[in-house]
Amino acid sequence: MAIAVLYAWGSMFLGLSQEALAARGLASLRYFTILSNLLEAFACVVWLINGNEKIKYIAAVSVSVTFIVVMVFLGPLFGYAAMFYGVSFWLHGVVPLCAIFEFLFCNQTKFSQKDSLLAVLPMMIYGLFYVGNILINGVGEWPRSNDWYGFMSWGYPIGFAIYFFISFATWAFAVFLKKANEAIIKRI
């Protein structure tokens, strides 16, 4: 997974990919997809070095958010073909699904409810910066919009509601992954 992420991000970074919601250079780091996938790559390396399962859990939840948001919101908005084209196929689909599968079937660590809350932090921190940027700089106009995901398209109240809904959904999915892993490991 780490190699796939670094290849996909490197292609985007160097401008070798032209997908929707892609940016060249460091501007690519504005997308949660990139940040969550880089977290997954980092978690893979850390796990190889010291077997840290907690960072793998947090990273799996983070890339799961990417997959779920693409499937539920961005896919219908921009089209699934655009969301899974080129390196986005890896970053929106393959890596998140592999991380989920790996966590469900390979994790041997039992996590607490506190760990499930900790798994929400990357998304919440990103969301605070995303919303903060819009509050400070405004939504802007396409193609220089600060609302690259379109969450504020229906106004600020709906945009904030989307942020809180995604925060809650991230926590709910973290709990689901934890419980599903416990049930699967118990049967094996």
Q: Given CA atoms 14, 2, 68, 66 in this order, what sign does their dihedral have?
A: negative
Percentage of the chain modeled with pLDDT above 70: 97
Over residues 18-53, the pLDDT tens digits come to 776 677 889 889 999 999 999 999 999 999 999 999
Q: How confident is the model at residue 140 (pLDDT cuts 50, 70, 90)?
A: confident
- pLDDT recorded at residue 188: 67
Q: What would the two tokens of residue 128 be?
A: 């605070």
Comparing CA positions, the residue from 186, 13, 5, 3 lying closest to residue 104 is 186
CB 147 within 8 Å of CB 134: yes
Over residues 59-91, the pLDDT tens digits come to 999 999 999 989 998 899 889 998 998 899 999
- pLDDT recorded at residue 50: 95
Q: How confident is the model at residue 94 (pLDDT cuts 50, 70, 90)?
A: very high
Over residues 45-63, the pLDDT tens digits come to 999 999 999 999 999 999 9
Q: How confident is the model at residue 166 (pLDDT cuts 50, 70, 90)?
A: very high
CB 110 within 8 Å of CB 53: no
Average pLDDT over residues 154-158: 91
- pLDDT recorded at residue 179: 96
CA dihedral 162→164→169→171, nearest 10 degrees, is 160
- Does pTM surpass 0.95? no
Q: What length is written for the chain?
A: 188
- pLDDT recorded at residue 148: 84
Annotate 7-39 with DSSP letters as a single string: HHHHHHHTT----TT--SGGGGGGSHHHHHHHH
Comparing CA positions, the residue from 14, 8, 23, 5 lying closest to residue 143 is 23
